Structure formats: C-alpha cells, structure tokens
Structure 1
Amino acid sequence: MAIYSSTQSTSPEHAEIRVYGCHINEPLLNTEETKGGGCVDSPKNQPQGTTFPRTLLNGLNALSGVGILSIPYALSEGGWLSLIPFLLVAIICCYTGLLLRRCIDADARIETYPDIGKHAFGSKGKITIALFMYLELYLVAIEFLILEGDNLEKLFPNTDFEIMGLKIGGKQGFVLLTALVILPTMWLRSLGLLAYVSAGGVLASITLVASVFWTGAVDGVGFHGRGAFFNLSGLPTGISVYAFCYCGHAVFPTIYTSMKDRSQFSKMLILCFAICTFNYGTMAILGYLMYGEDVKSQVTLNLPVGKIGSKIAIYTTLINPFTKYALMVTPIAGAIEDQLHINNKRTNSLLIRTLLVTSTVIVALTVPLFAYLMAFIGSFLSSMVSMVLPCICYLKISKASRSQTEFMIIVGILVIGVFVAITGTYYSLRQIVEHL
C-alpha cells in the first residue's frame, strides 16, 4: 500500500504531497510542467494535473503492498472456494472507491478522506476517519518490522546478537537492527527522495510474483499442493487478509483531485483494481499450488533459500519496508507535532519521531505474528476505511440524488463490511492471544 499522492501548488516545479492530511512541500513527482510560465490555480480549478498513465501508477502503488506476501496464506485459510469472496471484496472496494469520488464532487472544498468525513458529519466525522487511518498506518509500520525480522532470520538462520552482555535471538535482533537503519529516515523533514523510491512498489510486486513463479516452475519446487476446497473456520481470517490487500482508499481522494482529466478516474480505478486483483490472485494460486496447507504467513518463508528465484523474491521483500516505513509513520508524527505545536522545534520533533519508532519496535517484538496482525488490520481497520465509512458518508451526503436500487446495494455492502469487521476482528484477536 502506498501512502502518498500529489496535488499541484503555485509552482510548476513543486507540489504539495498530502499524506493522510500531512502536508510536505517536495519536488513534483507526477505532474507535467506548466507551459508558458505563470501561476497555477488551486487543484480544484487548474487545467494542469496528473496524466492518466501516471495516475494509474499512483493507484497501482496505493493497492500494491505487503498483503501480496500473505495472500496465499489467506487462500489456504479459506480454501479454493474463498476465491469467490476474494473477488467480491475486490468489487466492493472498487465500488466504494467510486463512492468516495461522488462525495468529493459534492463540495469543491473536499480534497482528502478526512474532508469527506467533515463534510458528512462535521468535526467528529473528520476525527473518526483520521483516527482509523492513523491507527492503520501505525500497525502497517509494525508489520514492516515483523516482515524484516522473519525474512532476515530465514536468510541468516541461527544468528544471535549480544548487546551489553544480553543475548538476543535472531528474529528480535534483526527487528532491532532494522529499526536502527530506518530511524535516520524518520528524522528527515524532506521526504521527496523516499517518495520517488517508494513509487517502485508496483514493480516490486510484479517482480515478487514472477520470482515465486520461477521458483515453482524452474527451481524445482513444482505445483503439487492440492489444498482444501473449503474451510469455514479459516474463512474470517482469509477475508480479513483480502480486505487488507485493498486498503488504498485513504489516498483515492487525493489521487482524484490531482488528475488532469477527472472524468477518467472511474476508468483508472477499475483498471487499477483489475490489474491488482490479477496480481494478487496469481500470487495466491501460485503459492497455494506450491505449498498447499503448509504455506506460511509470508510465502517467502516457504521458498528455498539457495535458489535464484527465492533470493530475488526475498530481497525484493526486504527492500520495500526500508523505503516506505518513514512515509507510513511521518503523518502520525506530523499530527502529534501539530497538536503539540512543536513543528519548528527540531529537538522535540526528533524525540517524538524516535519514540514512535521505539514504540513500533516494542509492539513488533511483543506481537511477532505477521498474518494474525494483518488479519486484525484488515478486519477492524481496512474493512471500516474501505467498506463501511465510504458507504456511511455517501448515504449522508447524497440523500437526494441516490436511487432506491443504489441504496439497497450500499446497505448490502454495509452489512458485509460490518460482518467482516466483527467476525474477522474476533478471530484475529483470538488467534493473537492463543499464539502469544
């Protein structure tokens, strides 16, 4: 999941990057230069903006994330028949993304997801949506640390660390080492370089799927895992992971407002979901065919270390968190700094950002359960942000314009979203408690 998008500012060379409500002035990543010089109007009125191909890249980046590692595990939890709810989740999330566009069109002042909440329900709506998004960001950052610890331990097994006479296990030591490497990126006020690097997330996801296929087809693993046809007890976990994979809604509003031709947003979003669904589905089927019921929470943990395809897959997996962690946590740090009015106090800012990184390390070491934590994020947070809240906001904003048929469809999505949130959260929390 990528977590940035761009809107143009008063200079053709710069843009205001909005990261869930956090504003950072950076070199423009994805808009065309203004022809003829002069000033550019606000994003709502300007003729210039992001072209369709670049907007599509932003959308793909928003949906391409670490969920691709656990999609085979999700399929193994629910069985082959769970591919049906997988496609249903994709269709629902695509539709709710279109609902967000309609909410934005209701008022020219709306540019971000929290703005939609404010327009629908006032300050309480804005705060509620912001809290869900910040908590989702925080937990995804923790997932990055767990991912690094798991995969580095696979690359370097039986590795122990000793710090000041204290012996630390390999996985825990790798989590701490990763945090130390990431920490300086959190101290940067300028995230332009990281934004450019993180745009490679789309390529990384494609490379990962290709590497897994190579491992199965060429490196001798094969595709012999038959798997179960249906597993009711594991279905809530599977659906929760599916929901996590499609949690890009927080940036859809800003992607929309940055477009040069907004009439193409629906086409862009549908194409984006189709490509990502094909990529996710391919990975799920490949991983399940290769390892069946033995597939692990991250498919890279199943891959044989010595093979070229495995090495490419694992190293690609390891690179992404280093490029995206700061972009995940910086909006939270910015919100805290805004509340405490310490934006211009460098020492206090460094302290807050260091404490945030430290807190994610503590949680990662306390709850080192990648798949179950992902299921919790998908069920409790992603289902709310991607299914429930868009529907609620749209029903409030579009009282006069919606049809009876559309109303029934949205109510049905609300029922599904609430069901996923309740059942998925219960099962994921129960599994976390059982495995601690």
Structure 2
Amino acid sequence: MEIQSSTRSPSTDHNDIRPNVTDHVEIKPNGLHFNEPPPIMESQRGTTFLRAVLNGINALSGIGIISIPYALSEGGWMSFILLILVATMCCYTAILLKRCMDVDPEIKTYPDIGERALGPKGKVAIAIFTNFELYFACAVFLILEGDNLAKLFPKVDFKIKGLKIGGSRGFVILSSLIIIPTTWLRSLSLLAYISTWGVLTTLIVVASVFWVGAFDGVGFHARGTLGNFRGFPTAMSLFIFSYSGHPVFPTMYTGMKDKKQFSKMVILCFFLCTIIYGTMGIIGYLMYGHAVESQITLNLPTEKISSKIATYTILITPFAKYALIMTPVAMAIENKLHISDNRTISIFVRTLLVISNVIVALTIPFFGYLMALIGSFVNSMVAMIFPCICYLKICKSYYMASRYRQLEVVIILGILVIGVLIATVGTYTALRQIIRHL
C-alpha cells in the first residue's frame, strides 16, 4: 500500500449502535448462539451494585452518543420526547427479562429466555438477531474510523497496485488491516480492559464537544426546528440503537451479588445514560443545528485541541472493541461448522468476516443510515419485541392472577405495537435513505 499526499478535499457526504457489547472474552457459543453475551466485570463473590451500574452504563454508552445530535436534527426538538420514551420502554423491557429469569433458575442468558418462551426456534431467532447486531455494529466501527481519519488527514490518498483509493475508503481498508490480527487472538484480556473505559471515554467526548462550543468559537447559536415528523422514524431508530444493551442484562443479573437490586440498577443506568445522551444532543444541536453531521466529530474544527481529544477518543473505541464484538459471531460460526479446534481455519474464518465487514462498510458508507437500519430492524427486535413476547409467554400465570398485572399487560402490548411500527416504518425509511444515496 502506498500513501501519497493530495490537495483533494475529502468527501463530505456523511449521511447518517450496544451493542454496545463488550468486556468479556470467554464467550462460548453453542450452534448459532453464544452462551455468554459480552459481559461484565465481576468478582468471584458477585458484582456489587456500583460495579453493576458501571457495567450497565458501559453496555449502553458507546459510539451511538456521537449520533444523538443528528437524531435531534432529524426529528427536531420534539424528538427529545422520543428519546425519553425510548429510554423508558427499553428500561422497562430490561426489567421484563429479569422477571422471565425469575421463573426458572436454569435461565442464564437471553437465548435461554427465548428457548423457555418459544422453544428452540425462539433461542435461534434471538441468537441470529443478536449476532446480526454485533456484525453490523462492527461495520459501523469501520465507517467511523474511515470518516474521522479522513477528516483528520484530508490530504492523504492511498494507492494499491496503481489503484487510487481516496479518503475515507482508504482509511476503512487501512483500519481493517490493523484490526484483522486482533480478531485472531484467543485471549482478548488486554482489549477487554481497554474497553471497560467506555464510561470515561463517553464523558470525555461530551466534555470536549462542550468545550468546542463554549470556548473555541463555535457557540450555541443554532435554533433548530420544533418538530419534523418525517424525521421521527430515523430519530427513533438511532435512539433504540443507543439503548440496546439487552443481550448483556441477563448475564449482569446472574452475576449480581444482590439480585434484588437489579431493577434499581437498570433504572439508574438508563437514567444516567439519558442525561448523558440528552446533554450531548442539546449541545450538538445548539452548536450546528441542521448542519450537524451523522457523527458530530465531523463538524468539529480540526485545529482545536479539544476537537482532537474528542475525535481521537472516539477513534480508540473501534480498535479496542472490534475483536471483542466480532468474536461471538466468529465463534458461533466455528462451532456450527465444528472447526473451532482448527486454528488455521479459525483464522481464515475470522479474516473473511472482517473482509466481508469491509465490503459492507464500503458499499453502505453511511454511518447514520446504517445505524438507523440496525436500530429499526435489529435493535427493535432485541430490545422491545422479543422481551415483550417472552414475558407474555413465560409469565402468563403471573399476570393473569392480578388485575393490576392485567393492566400492565396493556402497557406491554403498547410497547410491542410501537416496536413493530419502528421495525417496519424505521426499516423502510432507513433502506429508502440508503438506496437514495448509493
């Protein structure tokens, strides 16, 4: 690969999640599912309440935070109500998963809940959607790397055997070459430790963006619009992407020292994340209004130190988390094909996964629209639809015995309907936007 300078400006066609899923390495797949969703810091005696809160925030907070201002620009200030609504519904469905687990102590993971509610097909369905979420989240990582590195180094082009590859596309390929060896590792403990800094990196990004607006001459002068109903599906999809940590919650519940505090912990996690997301959304929207990019880091002036801190902090995340997130997908495939013990074939499979991820990132280089597609098609199923269906199936005798619980069923059915609407309208909207910009 040959790198050369150019005076050409980088492409600015940045048209806008888990899972953030992270932190554990010993993931043991079984068929098409992984038995230990990317996990959490846990002591031998169980996770304390404070550590569980940190784990929960780390599971929820991630790269989705840089798209929150864009989500507000799509839906206007009224979409702030949607942010709170999505946070409330996703928090409630996380508690529903806990109730499902209380029925049977043998239930340890999200796919186990699906199996108890819907049989083997339910277990496979949840596993497939969860692995889709992980796979496409990795593609979003690559797009993020390409866009932000092209912003930092606008005069860099790449040549591969005489073929000139410009800007963000070249950086996507370069990033993948750096990432590929990390996916071959059997022990990812170092990356796991780096990824546990997710809460801190989120706060650093918010503080840096605020500093740019308050002290680096950008200001908070954009007024925005009150509401844009056409943008609501995109805004809702992006919000769901940012709140979908549900594959991790069953493992967190199992590992807590005092399981009675799980619901309180979940509520606190969602409350704190909503404050963080809301703060970033308000700051970013007031700074750039409808001119805000799908990644707010692309709007920041590159010559400012605070901008560089925000951008470089965001760039660290994909390199630290990519292998952790892709490993469950790779191990599920290896286990299904019975090749997990063959080191050479394992490396080959993981390399092919990264290559296919690069193809996705180059084919659909739209950070916001791809995130919206993941949020509407995948995360709405994982965070809203499946928890409601599983609860209604598993806990039928529980809620039928109480009039109060029967009223609660009406709320659950309402969430289920909203989830289906987001999955249909949001997916259609995201696909239409992607096709329009191809």
State the TM-score, normalized to the length of structure 2: 0.92
Deviation at 1:232, TM superposition (A): 1.0
**Paired residue total:** 412
Alignment of 1:156-305 (within 5 A): 156-305=153-302
Question: Match of 1:340?
Answer: 337
Residue 410, structure 1, aligned to residue 428, structure 2: no
- Runs of 4+ in structure 1 off by over 2 angstroms are 15-24, 28-33
| From 102, 115, 139, the counterpart of 2:136 | 139
Flag the 1:5–1:365 CA change in 2: closer, same or farther, 3 A.
closer
The answer as to whether partners of 1:132 and 1:385 remain within 8 angstroms in 2 is yes
Question: Match of 1:3?
Answer: 21
| From 94, 101, 104, the counterpart of 1:104 | 101
Flag the 1:247–1:154 CA change in 2: closer, same or farther, 3 A.
same
Deviation at 1:407, TM superposition (A): 0.8
Deviation at 1:429, TM superposition (A): 0.3
Letter in 1 for 2:42: T
Sequence identity of aligned pairs in percent?
Answer: 61
Deviation at 1:308, TM superposition (A): 1.2
Once the two structures are superposed, residues 51-78 of structure 1 have per-residue CA deviations (whole angstroms, 9 ceiling, x without a partner) of 1111111101110011101100000000
The answer as to whether partners of 1:241 and 1:374 remain within 8 angstroms in 2 is yes
Question: Match of 1:31?
Answer: 42
Deviation at 1:166, TM superposition (A): 1.1
The answer as to whether partners of 1:146 and 1:364 remain within 8 angstroms in 2 is yes
After superposition, the CA RMSD in angstroms is 1.7
Structure 2 stretches of 5 or more lacking a match?
Answer: 1-17, 400-404
Deviation at 1:88, TM superposition (A): 0.4
Letter in 2 for 1:382: N
Once the two structures are superposed, residues 302-345 of structure 1 have per-residue CA deviations (whole angstroms, 9 ceiling, x without a partner) of 00000111011000110000000011111010001001111111
Deviation at 1:267, TM superposition (A): 0.9
Question: Match of 1:51?
Answer: 48
The answer as to whether partners of 2:27 and 2:328 remain within 8 angstroms in 1 is no
Question: Match of 2:75?
Answer: 78
State the TM-score, normalized to the length of structure 1: 0.92
Deviation at 1:22, TM superposition (A): 3.6
Deviation at 1:16, TM superposition (A): 5.3
Residue 356, structure 1, aligned to residue 353, structure 2: yes
| From 63, 67, 84, the counterpart of 2:64 | 67
Deviation at 1:430, TM superposition (A): 0.1
Distance 1:234 1:29 in 2: 35
SS in structure 1 at match of 2:62: coil
Once the two structures are superposed, residues 351-407 of structure 1 have per-residue CA deviations (whole angstroms, 9 ceiling, x without a partner) of 000000000001101110000000001111111110111000000001111121111
Deviation at 1:197, TM superposition (A): 1.0
The answer as to whether partners of 2:94 and 2:249 remain within 8 angstroms in 1 is yes
Once the two structures are superposed, residues 210-242 of structure 1 have per-residue CA deviations (whole angstroms, 9 ceiling, x without a partner) of 000000001111000100111011111111101
Distance 2:363 2:40 in 1: 37
Question: Match of 1:424?
Answer: 426
SS in structure 2 at match of 1:296: coil
SS in structure 2 at match of 1:162: strand
Distance 2:40 2:106 in 1: 23
Structure 1 stretches of 5 or more lacking a match?
Answer: 7-14, 34-47
Letter in 2 for 1:31: E
SS in structure 1 at match of 2:397: coil
The answer as to whether partners of 1:112 and 1:253 remain within 8 angstroms in 2 is yes
SS in structure 1 at match of 2:156: coil
Letter in 2 for 1:428: A
Deviation at 1:17, TM superposition (A): 5.2
The answer as to whether partners of 1:5 and 1:255 remain within 8 angstroms in 2 is no
SS in structure 1 at match of 2:224: coil
Once the two structures are superposed, residues 406-435 of structure 1 have per-residue CA deviations (whole angstroms, 9 ceiling, x without a partner) of 110100101111111111101000000000
Distance 1:4 1:299 in 2: 23
SS in structure 2 at match of 1:248: coil
Distance 2:53 2:431 in 1: 35
Deviation at 1:18, TM superposition (A): 6.4
The answer as to whether partners of 1:16 and 1:23 remain within 8 angstroms in 2 is no
Letter in 2 for 1:32: S
Distance 1:281 1:84 in 2: 10
Once the two structures are superposed, residues 270-320 of structure 1 have per-residue CA deviations (whole angstroms, 9 ceiling, x without a partner) of 110011000000000000000001001100000000011101100011000
SS in structure 1 at match of 2:229: coil
Flag the 1:146–1:248 CA change in 2: closer, same or farther, 3 A.
same
Question: Match of 1:39?
Answer: none
Once the two structures are superposed, residues 170-213 of structure 1 have per-residue CA deviations (whole angstroms, 9 ceiling, x without a partner) of 11110000001101100001122211111011111110000000
